[in-house]
Amino acid sequence: MRRCVVLVVCLCMLLGLVAATGSVAAAKTKLVWQVHWSDFQVEGVYKGEGADRKLVSKGLRQYVEEYMKLHPDVEIEIQSVPMEEYLQKVLVARSSGVAPDIYGIYSLWGVQLVQNGILDAPPAAVMKDVRENYTPVSVAGATIDGKVWGIPMEVGNYCLVYNKELLKKKGFAAPPKTWKELVDMASKLTIRDKSGIITQYGFAFLAGWESAVVHPYLGLLWDVGGEFLSPDFKKCVVNSPEGVQALEAELQLFKTGGTDPAGSVWTFPQEKVAMMIMASWYEQSLKQGLGDKYDKVVGVAPVPYIKKPVNAGYTWFLAVDSASKNKKAAWDFLMWLTAEVQKPKNTTRLGDLMAETIGSLPCREIDLANHPDALNDLYTKTFVEQLKNSRPEPNVAQGAEIKTILANEIVEAWHGRKSAKQALDDAASKINEILAEFY
């Protein structure tokens, strides 16, 4: 009897609240988005200090706040994770039952995540939108076994980024067009101290970052007509004569004194690197590092070639966790961010974020066409032009592991510990053991 009285009292209190407010506050739908971006890419770009500090370019947070204001019943939390920890965080969070709702997936991780049942199959309307409105290289990046598994978020490719002032000091009026010219110029642009240590690199790679090792190599491999994997993914064929030729072309930079394994693309803003092969997203870091000198220093050109211009491409795509309790809400938010065209610019919000803040190439065709200020500047224009020569790295099972193996063997050759042929033979042998488990 007492329990009934308590229930009646609670019911009366609830009815009183309804009468007073006209409604009962509903629980919000919460979405968690795990990102790999740095501070300014999430928080936006500001100028000035104190009371004069103003937002000049929106970060992800401003778009999330806009959506939550339009949809008060939705709460979105941004979780930042370093890129090098991202895949492991996805796998650990999934196994512990605390996975986020939304991911930004590097294409090489896609096969593993699909095979493990982690990614949600996009709604038919999302897949149709992707196939009809995105660049071919980015659609390929989001496609696994013929099926689209997410919304292309960022497409990356490579160009030669060079220091105009350093080239001019050595009498070079233009950047190299061929690989032979690159090797010749790099040795002349390299400066060493009395002990032989390089203080200015004619050309710099980056041994500690797999993409900075593998992507330039893949471009040269495809340039000379070689392949990385067989069409059925059953065999690694990187140790072909063409593969060896491509790696030996890189080694010429080391043998002629144009670089060494200690070089780093990250020292370009300190004007310690004359030339490097770099991705489009590095623009904002160069602007911040070089400040007022940016326009005078930075030049961009197509990657020098041996036979034909080719550069490696890669994709990040947005995906939803298959175990999310709010999958529809997640896809609705992502379509608002990526597909809703804003007037009068005729761009999407994600396109604005990529082009105007992050400095990456948008994947949606309409965004590539309608960001003239951001995409036709001195840095990004050449990257957009070179999309026609960009070839996506293959989406293969254990792609990240395979890429690391190839990177490690290439670095062995850079150090002179292995010949180009031995390094690629060893890479192929190790990679074939992995491929045999999946194909």
Residue 106 has which token pair? Answer: 């590097």
Average pLDDT of the chain? 91
- Report which DSSP code applies to 386: G
245 confidence band (pLDDT: 50, 70, 90): very high
pTM of the model: 0.86
DSSP output for 12-68: HHHHHHHHHHSS-PPPPEEEEEEE---HHHHH-EEESSGGG-EEEE--HHHHHHHHH
Cβ atoms 189, 167 nearer than 8 A: yes
Higher pLDDT: 47 or 404? It is 404
Q: Are strands 147-148 and 143-144 parallel, antiparallel or unpaired?
A: antiparallel
Cβ atoms 111, 395 nearer than 8 A: yes
Cβ atoms 148, 122 nearer than 8 A: yes
8 confidence band (pLDDT: 50, 70, 90): very low
What pLDDT score was predicted for residue 243? 98
For residue 309, pLDDT over 90 is answered with yes
Residues whose CB is less than 8 angstroms from the CB of residue 57 and which lie 6 or more positions away in sequence, other chains included: 44, 45, 356, 357
For residue 50, pLDDT over 90 is answered with no
Question: Which domains occur in the chain, in start order?
Answer: 29-155+314-392 (3.40.190.10), 158-313+396-438 (3.40.190.10)
Bridge partners, residue 201, by sequence: 273
What pLDDT score was predicted for residue 19? 44
Lowest mean pLDDT among 6-10, 48-52, 422-426, 428-432: 6-10
Packed helices 124-133 and 327-338: angle between N→C axes, nearest 10 degrees: 20
What pLDDT score was predicted for residue 95? 82
Lowest mean pLDDT among 19-23, 34-38, 58-62, 134-138: 19-23
CA 355 to chain centre: 13
Higher pLDDT: 378 or 16? It is 378
